[in-house]
Structure 1
Amino acid sequence: MITCVVEYVIDPAKTDAFERFGHRWIELVNRHGGTHHGYFLPSEGASDKALALFSFPSLAAYEEYRKLFGVDPDFVAADRIRDESGCVLRYERTFMRPLLPEPATP
């Protein structure tokens, strides 16, 4: 399993648009073989930072999902929310592997 961590710098005045953008991507990731763990928005402290975390069973599965970018109409529409609103100023993707609790021994 790989987990993609996306760190966003967002426009705090456009949080509503960012939430619409996030809801669309949660749906798309889940529909196309991933598990979206949610978006994490500012609450206290810095008001221009947000995170998204989602996982795919493998890098190959993630790459299949990425083939839909710019091609699938639902993906294009989701990106249009970001592009037209200007809610995302920049973002950076990092791929990580989870360290999960070990199974309990009987």
Structure 2
Amino acid sequence: MITCHLRYEIDPRQISAFERYVTGWIPIVNRLGGTHHGCFLPHEGANDIAYALFSFPSLTAYESYREAIRQDPQARELWQLSERTGCIRRFDRTFLRPAFEPTAAA
């Protein structure tokens, strides 16, 4: 399994647009074989940082998802929303792997 962690720097004046954008990805990820773990918007502290996490069974499955979203009408609408509103200033994508149990010492 591979989990994608997205860290967004957002325009706090466009929080409503960003919330529509980021939550709009939940059904797309789920429909295309992933598991969306949620979106996390600013509450206290920095008002311009948000997060999203979703997983795919493998990096190959994630790459298939990336290919599929290029043709997906809902994904295009979300990208257009982001462009139109400027709700996202920048984002970083990090890939993580789970560690559920201790590994045996080598």
Same fold (TM over 0.5): yes
Matched, 1:31 2:36: no
8 Å contact 1:33–1:61 — kept in the other structure? yes
Structure 2: unaligned runs, 5 residues or longer = none
Give the CA deviation at 1:6: 0.5
8 Å contact 1:3–1:55 — kept in the other structure? yes
Give the CA deviation at 1:97: 0.3
Deviations 1:55-95 (A, max 9, x none): 00000000000002332212111111111111000001000
Corresponding residue pairs, total: 102
For 1:6, what is the secondary structure of its paired residue? strand
Q: Which runs of 4+ in 1 moved over 4 A?
A: none
Aligned to 1:18: 18
User: Matches of 1:39 and 1:45 in 2, distance apart?
Assistant: 17
Identity of aligned residues (%): 53
Normalised by the size of structure 1, how large is the TM-score?
Answer: 0.91
8 Å contact 1:68–1:75 — kept in the other structure? no
Give the CA deviation at 1:101: 5.0
Structure 1: unaligned runs, 5 residues or longer = none
For 1:67, what is the secondary structure of its paired residue? helix
Normalised by the size of structure 2, how large is the TM-score?
Answer: 0.91
User: Matches of 2:101 and 2:86 in 1, distance apart?
Assistant: 39
Quick check: 1-10 or 78-87, which moved more?
78-87
